[in-house]
């Protein structure tokens, strides 16, 4: 009997140790912000909606494990930022009341064309109950208030900012579009710097003549060293980006149909290229796109300003990541 009792007590002791060990793992401190500790259990709870999606979409194995690990890190970083922002909100005496949360949830529902009840039900499918969803919205509203107070007034969007983004979109679009082009190739003897300078000057002269109105095809037939395209007036036919040497591709990207480049050196040859035509694009003209692009530029600047502000908060506060 004593042995049985002793065994039972020993088993209970082991069980207790196991439970304590499990509790220790669950309540592990994974970050410290000032005097506030962030627990592993809190991170797991906040990560639940993302983990549900990962288990639905990412195959089991190394890929899923990596996605889960990255998710925990991202969520923890977000929670550290929120703690820093919460401290800043307290200093500024900013609060978010229940009506503001209700209004924000109503706007999200309206933007998605569904009722609030349906929105909450959809959140629940991702592992976020109504209380958790309201807390998430509350955090977002508080962050918006903080950004409006600390960051938003400093952001300016100029027309040049918008045009710069439009040019980037145009270049991105051109990298997908087919085109037709022609070139004149002038070969220089290898390792002869003097001859290379002469050939470059010749290529620049041909480019200038073409830009001044000389027939590009005639110049190619008379002067090009590329036997395959010379008889066709330098025409290369229909091409896709990436088929020509990178330097020539880059030159063509900056041309409009009918325009001629300066000389482009590739190896021991100098090229003058002309863009004949480019496939039609679905990209709207600048005037049609500028309002939407202005919003995108604003959001980009806001994101950068937010990151800069949060980094400044981190420098002012003791932050220790233990995950």
- Domain CATH code at residue 212: 3.10.50.40
Q: Please check whether residues 110 and 191 belong to one and the same domain.
A: no
235 & 196 share domain: yes
Across 37-76, b (16+ Cβ under 10 Å) vs e yields bbebebbeebbebbbeebeeeeeeeeeeeebbeebbeebb
pLDDT of residue 172: 86
Same domain, 127 and 203: no
Answering whether pTM is above 0.75, one says no
CA angle (125 as vertex; 122, 126 as ends), nearest 5: 100
Tell me which of 150, 169, 192 is where a domain ends: 150
The answer to whether residues 116 and 184 belong to one domain is no
Q: 59: which 2 tokens?
A: 């195959």
**Cα torsion at 285, 288, 293, 294 (round to 10°)?**
130
Extended beta strands in the chain, E state:
29-33, 36-39, 179-187, 235-239, 264-266, 269-278, 319-321
Same domain for 192 and 126? no
> Which of 191, 161, 102, 98 has its CA nearest to residue 302?
161
Residue 208 lies in a domain: yes
Q: Is residue 171 part of a domain?
A: no
pLDDT tens sequence across 257-301: 999 999 999 999 999 999 999 988 777 888 888 888 999 998 898
Print burial letters for 277-307: b (CB count within 10 Å at least 16), e (below 16).
ebeeeeeeeeeebbeebbeebbeebbeebbe
- What average pLDDT does the structure give for the chain? 86
Domain count, the chain: 2
Residue 227 in domain = yes
Residue 303 to residue 218: CA distance in whole angstroms: 53
Residues 289-295: contacts with CB within 8 Å, 24+ apart? 289/166, 289/169, 290/159, 290/162, 290/166, 293/162, 293/165, 293/166, 293/169, 294/157, 294/162
- For residue 70 the two structure tokens come to 């990255």
Q: Is residue 257 part of a domain?
A: yes
Q: Note whether 184 and 234 are within 8 A (CB).
A: yes
pLDDT at 10: 31
Instruction: For residue range 111-128, list pLDDT tens digits in order.
Output: 999 999 999 898 888 778
Calculate the alpha carbon distances from 85 to 43, 94, 164, 211 in Å: 17, 10, 32, 58
Which pLDDT belongs to residue 22?
A: 42
| Residue 129: per-residue pLDDT | 86
In whole angstroms, give the CA distance from residue 13 to residue 15: 5
Q: What is the pLDDT of residue 201?
A: 95
196 and 125 fall within a common domain: no
124 assigned to some structural domain: yes
| Cα–Cα nearest to 184, from 159, 215, 152, 154 | 215
User: For position 181, what pLDDT does the model report?
Assistant: 95
Domain residues for the domain of 228 are: 178-278
**292 occurs within a structural domain:** no
Same domain, 141 and 210: no
- Residue 33 belongs to a domain: no
In a domain, 307, yes or no: no
What pLDDT does 6 receive? Answer: 38
Same domain, 183 and 273: yes
Residue 65: predicted pLDDT: 93
Which stretches of the chain score pLDDT less than 50?
1-25
Q: Counting every residue, how long is the chain?
A: 323
Q: What is residue 143's three-state secondary structure?
A: helix
Residue 317 burial by Cβ neighbours in a 10 Å radius (0-12, 13-18, 19+): middle
- Give dist(CA 7, CA 16) in Å, integer: 14
Question: Are 190 and 272 in a shared domain?
Answer: yes
Whether residue 123 is found in the same domain as residue 186: no
Judged by DSSP in three states, 30 sits in strand
């Amino acid at each position: 009997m004593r042995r049985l009792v002793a065994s039972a007590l020993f088993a209970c002791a082991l069980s207790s140790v196991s439970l304590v060990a499990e509790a220790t793992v669950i309540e592990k401190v994974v970050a410290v912000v000032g005097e506030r500790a962030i627990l592993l259990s809190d991170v797991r709870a906040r990560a639940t909606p993302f983990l549900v999606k990962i288990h639905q979409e990412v195959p089991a194995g190394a890929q899923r494990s990596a996605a889960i690990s990255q998710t925990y890190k991202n969520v923890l970083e977000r929670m550290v930022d929120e703690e820093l922002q919460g401290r800043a909100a307290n200093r500024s005496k900013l609060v978010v009341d229940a009506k503001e949360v209700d209004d924000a949830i109503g706007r999200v529902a309206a933007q998605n064309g569904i009722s609030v009840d349906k929105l909450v039900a959809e959140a629940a499918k991702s592992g976020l109950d109504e209380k958790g969803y309201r807390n998430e919205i509350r955090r977002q509203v508080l962050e918006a208030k903080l950004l409006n107070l600390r960051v938003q007034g400093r952001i300016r969007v100029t027309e040049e900012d918008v045009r710069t983004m439009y040019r980037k979109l145009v270049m991105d679009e051109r990298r997908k579009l087919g085109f037709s082009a022609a070139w004149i190739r002038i070969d220089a003897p290898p390792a002869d710097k003097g001859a290379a300078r002469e050939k470059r000057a010749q290529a620049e002269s041909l480019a200038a003549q073409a830009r001044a109105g000389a027939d590009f095809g005639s110049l190619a037939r008379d002067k090009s060293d590329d036997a395959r395209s010379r008889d066709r007036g330098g025409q290369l036919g229909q091409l896709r980006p990436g088929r020509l040497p990178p330097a020539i591709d880059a030159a063509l990207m900056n041309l409009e149909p009918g325009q001629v480049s300066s000389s482009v050196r590739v190896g021991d040859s100098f090229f003058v290229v002309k863009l004949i035509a480019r496939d039609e694009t679905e990209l709207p003209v600048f005037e049609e796109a500028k309002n939407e692009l202005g919003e995108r530029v604003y959001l980009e600047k806001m994101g950068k300003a937010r990151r800069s502000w949060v980094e400044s908060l981190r420098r002012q506060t003791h932050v220790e990541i233990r995950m």
